[in-house]
Amino acid sequence: MQGTDIILIGGGGHALVVAGSMRDLGLVPVGFLDDSDQAPLARGQGAIPHLGPLCELDTWLEQDRKTIVAIGAIATRRRIIDAFAGLTEAATVIDAHALVRASAEVECGSFIAPGAIVQERATIGRHAIINTGAIVEHECRLGVNVHVAPGAVLGGRVVVGDDALIGLGARVLPNVRIGAASVIGAGAVVTRDVQPAERVAGVPARTI
């Protein structure tokens, strides 16, 4: 895969991180799509071309180009994933300074950030984010569009449903199940299963 085959969708803060990881891998993307031409990725050091608003994606889909959704917000990511399903092949970016064990599986469209660790036999679903310094321990199973925020840790055999957010620095104990579309607050320590769409925070984590 060449960097010139990849278009970033989104140009905000998370896109800066994805583009930086691509740069460290020697990949230079075609550019990025964002509804704002003043997005951070268009300006300053490491800027890349702004190709236009999201609605113009189809005009850039040629020569087997791939895309990666470079937006951190779960709900926005889901809307884009659903809107562009079948129109483009998703690229996967694994930072040069991330550790992904050979027995782990990272599905298409996912981003593994600097310092992240994905341990033995873990499965990372499509379009997931394992953000800076996050740890996904052995045999975890993560669904589609899951975001494990910077510094969060999932103990062994944790199961995370689609569209769930594990907040900054949160800890999820081994064998816990995190339901789809749930939110784990920053710094929470999760000792029990979390139901779909439930929001929890605190130590130990409780419903909020």
Instruction: Give the separation between CA 64 and CA 180, rounded to whole angstroms.
Output: 32
| CB-count exposure of residue 62 (10 Å: 0-12, 13-18, 19+) | exposed
CATH class held by domain 92-200: mainly beta
- In the chain, CATH 2.160.10.10 covers 92-200
How high is the pLDDT of residue 175? 98
Asked if residues 18 and 111 have their Cβ atoms less than 8 Å apart, the reply is yes
Total Cβ atoms within 10 A of residue 42: 17
Q: Which of 14, 50, 127, 138 is catalytic?
A: 138
Kindly indicate whether the domain formed by 3-91 is annotated with CATH number 3.40.50.20. Answer: yes
Residue 14: active-site member: no
Q: Distances in Å between the alpha carbon of 6 and those of 28, 29, 57, 109?
A: 8, 5, 12, 11
Residue whose entry in the numeric block shows the structure tokens 């050979």: 102
Instruction: Give the separation between CA 32 and CA 38, rounded to whole angstroms.
Output: 12
pLDDT in tens for each of the 208 residues of the chain?
A: 444 589 999 999 999 999 999 999 998 888 999 998 889 999 998 889 999 998 888 788 766 788 999 999 999 999 999 988 777 889 999 999 999 999 999 999 999 999 999 999 999 999 999 999 999 999 999 999 999 999 999 999 999 999 999 999 999 999 999 999 999 999 999 999 999 999 999 999 999 9
- In the chain, CATH 3.40.50.20 covers 3-91
Residue whose entry in the numeric block shows the structure tokens 């704002």: 36
Model confidence, pTM: 0.94
Instruction: Give the separation between CA 116 and CA 1, rounded to whole angstroms.
Output: 22
Q: How would you label 97-111 residue by residue, b for 16+ Cβ within 10 Å and e otherwise?
A: ebebeeebebbebbb
Instruction: Give the separation between CA 187 and CA 16, rounded to whole angstroms.
Output: 24
The tokens for 87 are: 């129109």
Q: Distances in Å between the alpha carbon of 69 and those of 81, 112, 126, 130?
A: 8, 13, 11, 13
Total Cβ atoms within 10 A of residue 53: 12
